[in-house]
Structure 1
Amino acid sequence: MTDRDQRTIGAPLALLVLYTLFIAAITLTPQQLGTGPDTLIGHALDLFAAHRETSWLTYERVEKLGNVAMFIPFGFLAALHFGRRRWWLGFAVGASLSAAIEIFQGTVLTQTRFATLSDLVTNTLGAGLGALFGLAAMVMWPSRRTRSDSGRRLAAV
Structure 2
Amino acid sequence: MTGARRRLRTVPLALLILYTVFIGLVTLTPNQLDTGPGSFIAGLLELLASHRVTAWIDYDLLEKLANIGMFVPFGLLVALQCGRSRWWVGWVAGIAFTCLIEGTQATLLSPTRFATISDLVTNGLGAGIGAVAGLIVMTIWPPERHDVAVDHEVR
Please confirm whether the aligned pair reaches a TM-score higher than 0.5, indicating the same fold.
yes
Question: Which one-letter code corresponds to 1:19 in the other structure?
Answer: Y
Query: Once the two structures are superposed, what CA deviation does each residue of 1:15-47 show, in whole Å capped at 9, x if it has no partner?
Result: 111100000000000011111121111011012
Partners of 1:48 and 1:156 lie apart in 2 by 69
Q: Which residue of 2 aligns with 1:150?
A: 147
Deviation at 1:91, TM superposition (A): 0.1
Deviation at 1:140, TM superposition (A): 0.5
Q: TM-score, normalised by structure 1?
A: 0.90
Cα gap change, 1:144 to 1:156, in 2 (>3 Å): farther
- Tell me whether 1:80 sits opposite 2:80 in the alignment: yes
Tell me, which stretches of 5 or more residues in structure 2 are unaligned?
Answer: none
Partners of 2:153 and 2:129 lie apart in 1 by 40
Query: Once the two structures are superposed, what CA deviation does each residue of 1:69-98 show, in whole Å capped at 9, x if it has no partner?
Result: 000000000000000000000000000000
Q: Which residue of 1 aligns with 2:41?
A: 41
Tell me, which stretches of 5 or more residues in structure 1 are unaligned?
Answer: none
Question: Which one-letter code corresponds to 1:58 in the other structure?
Answer: D
Question: Which one-letter code corresponds to 1:114 in the other structure?
Answer: F
- Tell me whether 1:62 sits opposite 2:62 in the alignment: yes
Partners of 1:93 and 1:156 lie apart in 2 by 47
Question: Which one-letter code corresponds to 1:72 in the other structure?
Answer: V
Alignment coverage as a number of residue pairs: 151
- Tell me whether 1:122 sits opposite 2:119 in the alignment: no
Query: Percent identical across equivalent pairs?
Result: 52
Deviation at 1:155, TM superposition (A): 5.9
Equivalence map 1:23-34=2 (5 Å): 23-34=23-34
Q: Which residue of 2 aligns with 1:11?
A: 11
Superposed CA RMSD in Å reads: 1.8
Matched residue of 1:94: which SS? helix
Q: TM-score, normalised by structure 2?
A: 0.91
Question: Which one-letter code corresponds to 1:92 in the other structure?
Answer: V
Partners of 1:106 and 1:156 lie apart in 2 by 66
Partners of 1:87 and 1:65 lie apart in 2 by 23
Question: Which one-letter code corresponds to 1:80 in the other structure?
Answer: L
Matched residue of 2:38: which SS? coil
Query: Which of the pair has the greater relative contact order for Cα pairs under 8 Å at 6+ separation?
Result: 1
Partners of 1:75 and 1:156 lie apart in 2 by 45
Deviation at 1:154, TM superposition (A): 8.1
Partners of 2:25 and 2:149 lie apart in 1 by 47
Deviation at 1:104, TM superposition (A): 0.2
Cα gap change, 1:156 to 1:113, in 2 (>3 Å): farther
Cα gap change, 1:153 to 1:103, in 2 (>3 Å): farther
Deviation at 1:13, TM superposition (A): 1.2
